[in-house]
Amino acid sequence: MFRRIAKELGSHASFTASGALSGIVIILIIVFGNFLPQVYPISQNIFYTLHPTHVVLSALTTTAMYMRYGKRNIWLAVLIGYTGSIGIATISDSVIPYLGETLLNLPNKGLHIGFIEKWWLVNPAALLGIMIGYWKGTTKFPHYGHVLLSTWASLFHIIMALGEMVTWIQIIVILLFLFLAVWIPCCTSDIVYPLLFIRKKQELSSQSRA
């Protein structure tokens, strides 16, 4: 099991790193290009575009990873895909950024829980991703898209709290929390979490089929 998890983490590492780097590039462009006053007023709309799309890809990748190594049990696939995407995407996009906002004492900090605030949008997004991952799913490129969208959603959750001014200290802390919000939750959701449900016999069977 641990060997399988390590192998999958290694094969997805480059996607995760480049995705996280994109968030750093975006925030530096926004800040040093003086775009923050224009971006801030629409940051909530951007967040609620990126977050549901992130959930789709997260559910797709989580479900596909389970289907790759496990039995094709549809109810277990739905459970793993839903909890792995909704639960961990909420931690990545909302909870960890909120902790950063609180640490920085940002003026407009708030905890935006997508599957509650926009339940009619985010929950169907998870089900769509599960359906795609169950019937036809791959893991690497959806994982890359998942990382990109998670980075951007986390970033715009923080921008919602920033207002129209930012300091160097805030930028450094934001980059740190952006990294934490993406790297660990995304790899946990896409790779570690679904593989925890795979029994050793199933893993050996899938290795023999490979």
Half-sphere exposure of residue 32, counting CA atoms within 13 Å on the CB side? Answer: 8
CA distance 56 to 35: 29
Cβ count within 10 A of residue 144: 18
User: Residue written as tokens 């003086």?
Assistant: 34
- Per residue in 154-188, pLDDT (tens digit) is 999 999 998 877 888 888 888 888 777 776 677 67
pLDDT in tens, 41-90: 999 999 999 999 999 988 988 898 888 877 778 999 999 999 989 998 99
Return d(Cα 173, Cα 180) in angstroms, integer: 11
| pLDDT greater than 50 at residue 205 | no
Angle (CA) 55-60-64 rounded to 5° is 150
Alpha carbon 42 to chain centroid, angstroms: 21
The terminus-to-terminus CA distance of the chain in angstroms comes to: 16
Cα separation, 49 vs 145, whole angstroms: 14
Supply the pTM of this predicted model. Answer: 0.83
Instruction: Check: CB of residue 13 under 8 Å from CB of residue 184.
Output: no
